[in-house]
Amino acid sequence: MTGVAPAVGRPASVTRHDGTPLRVLMIDNYDSFTFNLVQYLGELGAETTVWRNDAFALDDVAAFAPDGIVVSPGPCTPNEAGLSVALIERYSGRHPILGVCLGHQAIGQAFGGRVVPARTIMHGKTSLVRHDGTGPFEGLPDEVVATRYHSLVVVDPSAELVENAWTDDPSGRVIMGLRHAQHPTWGVQFHPESILTETGHAMLAAFLRRCARAAA
């Protein structure tokens, strides 16, 4: 990693406008990082319910009526991630969605991008990520340090998706964030819930603020 990003303090809790907790649905792709995300969201005031990626029906999501949905990291490909891709296809535009690592790749695939082996495999390494200040990067410095654990990447995203974060690996530029051009749907290739991602709480708080606006 080159360069040093300025530190960002932990943000305040985010609630609905009436002061009640936001209800977040976490789709667990059988990954230990899932519960780090649950912990971070809880520290920001959200109530998070965890469903395994193959232990629900798509109609259950509408009945649950979450304020936001997070699709977790995982050890597999989007094709092996249960209902993750199908959920994104159905509920993008109906609920704010954040995909993390595998969840980001599922968003890329759901909207016509390709998920391919990375030229540089990253496991527990940090990178300096640049971004456009949208979605989870709202209010952050132009460059942030992010922790990466992945061997797959999204390439050739469709016109429905906008690349809003990137990094430069020795093998070339790599997409680190995507946003839907019209829906409140975002993906990050890195792990905001890692302790080495210093702005992780701020990123998740930005997502929760978008959930609060949608719930108003």
Interatomic CA distance for residues 113 and 18, integer angstroms: 39
Residue range 131-171, pLDDT digits in tens: 999 999 999 999 999 999 999 999 999 999 999 999 999 98
Which one of the listed residues 101, 104, 201, 211 is annotated catalytic? 101
The type of residue at 79 is: N
With CA atoms as reference, report the closest residue to 213 among 14, 73, 56.
14
Which one of the listed residues 193, 198, 201, 211 is annotated catalytic? 193
191 is catalytic: yes
101 is catalytic: yes
Residue 1: the pLDDT is 44
Q: What percent of the chain is modeled with pLDDT above 90?
A: 93
The type of residue at 113 is: G
Q: Any idea what the Cα angle at residue 130 is, between residues 124 and 136, rounded to 5°?
A: 80
Mean pLDDT of 176-202: 98
pLDDT at 189 > cutoff 60: yes
Q: pLDDT class for 4, splitting at 50, 70, 90? A: very low
pLDDT at 8 > cutoff 80: no
Residue 9: the pLDDT is 67
pLDDT at 125 > cutoff 60: yes
Which one of the listed residues 95, 104, 191, 201 is annotated catalytic? 191
| CATH for the stretch 23-215 | 3.40.50.880
Q: Any idea what the Cα angle at residue 43 is, between residues 152 and 35, rounded to 5°?
A: 40
Q: Are 49 and 93 in contact (CB under 8 A)?
A: no
Q: Are 75 and 149 in contact (CB under 8 A)?
A: no
Q: pLDDT class for 2, splitting at 50, 70, 90? A: very low
pLDDT at 201 > cutoff 50: yes
160 is catalytic: no
Residue 104: the pLDDT is 99
Residue range 48-70, pLDDT digits in tens: 999 999 999 999 999 999 999 99
Interatomic CA distance for residues 26 and 14, integer angstroms: 17
Give domain limits for the chain: 23-215
Mean pLDDT of 90-117: 98
Residue 216: the pLDDT is 86
Provide the mean pLDDT of the chain: 95
